Amino acid sequence: MAETKLSFKDKRWSLHGMTALVTGATRGIGHAIVEELAEFGAAVHICARNQDDIDKCLEEWKGKGLTVTGSVCDLQCSDQRKRLMEILSSIFHGKLNILVNNAATTITKKIIDYTAEDISTIMGTNFESVYHLTQLAHPLLKESGQGSIVSISSIAGLKALPVFSVYAASKGAMNQFTKNLALEWAKDNIRANAVAPGPVMTKLLDSIMNSSGGDESVDGIVSQTLVGRMGEAKEISALVAFLCLPAVGVSQLSLLLFIWLLNKILVFFLYRLSFFRPNHAWYIVGWICQLFLNI
Ligand SMILES: NC(=O)c1ccc[n+]([C@@H]2O[C@H](COP(=O)([O-])OP(=O)(O)OC[C@H]3O[C@@H](n4cnc5c(N)ncnc54)[C@H](OP(=O)(O)O)[C@@H]3O)[C@@H](O)[C@H]2O)c1
């Protein structure tokens, strides 16, 4: 049987010519995402708080022939977020195709024990910074003509787990923000998605597993997975890259158009039926359908 070759020259399956920012990319999931996006052809900029770690990563990626730049930014500081966007705008000439909101932190405690400072550190890094950075990135994403935002959420944002309440709230907020972003920025040709991994062995997870109650929480989630093991950073990065590909944008749009068309046909059909029924019941059914199916 003749082998079918996937042509990476096909623009729909390539990130060549595209620009990306991945936050918190010196290790773990962010590091894997950078490699995945750069291997698909994107020029990537990274940020983290430690300059030495950034330098080591850039050296490693240079050796692999990947186009990656980086700068220090503590995402908890509003001024540093603004500075990061200025640097990015100058490197990428005002155009950004992909924003990956990856950096995050956590402190595991029981609800009763969290201090105001803990809450501000977790929400500031995991949610406020994502919101602000996304706002700052809007002109650059719009200018690219083909923008994609992927935020790394967590299973903790979907499911209640012990000792994760603030982290969970930050990821739950991120999930809802992603839906609002998708709705408001679609007109600017900017897509928004969130990826919510289960446990992946990284420094973040290591610190969770070494904290009181953290290891039980993690074991509980892993035991509920079908594969019975933790995920790997490369498995998450593959999904992120997939969501950024132009091919996905097209199919999402088709699906939305299909649902929209189906909705309109159904509602039209129900309205027409109402002309033959004096009690207007079909009008009500029509409106309910409109309410629930509208996108
Ligand atoms: N690992 C898991 O099991 C898991 C599961 C679900 C979701 N996630 C999510 O996946 C994402 C990546 O997690 P990970 O496990 O790969 O974490 P990680 O190994 O701890 O890496 C975090 C990265 O973010 C950077 N960072 C942390 N705070 C920062 C700040 N204030 N400003 C700038 N950079 C900062 C770190 O560098 P510096 O410390 O040098 O700044 C590092 O590069 C997070 O959003 C996390 O919530 C992870």
Nearest ligand 1 atom to alpha carbon 75 = 32
For residue 66, the CA-to-ligand 1 centroid distance in Å is 22
Read off the tokens for 134: 């996304």
- pTM comes to 0.85
pLDDT band at 224 (very low <50, low <70, confident <90, very high): confident
Ligand 1 pocket test: pick from 21, 22, 120, 202 the residue with the most ligand atoms within 8 Å of its Cβ: 202
In this prediction, residue 154 carries a pLDDT of 95
Q: Tell me the pLDDT tens digit for each residue of 57-68.
A: 999 999 999 999
The mean pLDDT value for 180-200 works out to 95
Annotation marks residue 167 as catalytic? yes
For residues 277 and 54, the model is more confident at 54
The mean predicted confidence, pLDDT, of the chain is: 87
Pocket (CB within 6 angstroms of ligand 1): 24-30, 47-50, 53, 73-76, 102-105, 125, 152, 154, 197, 199-200, 202-205
Q: Do residues 68 and 83 lie in contact, with contact meaning Cβ atoms separated by under 8 Å?
A: no
Q: Tell me the pLDDT tens digit for each residue of 72-121.
A: 999 999 999 999 999 999 999 999 999 999 999 999 999 999 999 999 99
Q: What's the CATH fold of domain 12-244?
A: Rossmann fold (3.40.50)
Nearest ligand 1 atom to alpha carbon 236 = 10
Nearest ligand 1 atom to alpha carbon 53 = 40
In this prediction, residue 9 carries a pLDDT of 59
Lowest mean pLDDT segment, chosen from 8-12, 171-175, 183-187: 8-12
Strand order in the sheet with 98-101: 68-72, 43-48, 19-23, 98-101, 147-152, 190-195
Q: Do residues 174 and 153 lie in contact, with contact meaning Cβ atoms separated by under 8 Å?
A: yes
Instruction: Measure the CA–CA gap between 54 and 34, rounded to whole angstroms.
Output: 12
Among candidate residues 208, 194, 191, the one with its CA nearest the CA of residue 236: 194
Work out the end-to-end distance of the chain between its first and last CA atoms, rounded to an integer number of angstroms. Answer: 44
The mean pLDDT value for 206-221 works out to 87
Q: Do residues 36 and 68 lie in contact, with contact meaning Cβ atoms separated by under 8 Å?
A: no
In this prediction, residue 211 carries a pLDDT of 87
Helix (H, G, I), strand (E, B) or coil at 110: coil
Helix (H, G, I), strand (E, B) or coil at 217: helix
For residue 152, the CA-to-ligand 1 centroid distance in Å is 9
Annotated domain spans of the chain: 12-244, 255-293
Instruction: Give per-residue burial for 46-56: e unless 16+ CB within 10 Å, then b.
Output: bbbbeeebbee
Instruction: Measure the CA–CA gap between 270 and 289, rounded to whole angstroms.
Output: 9
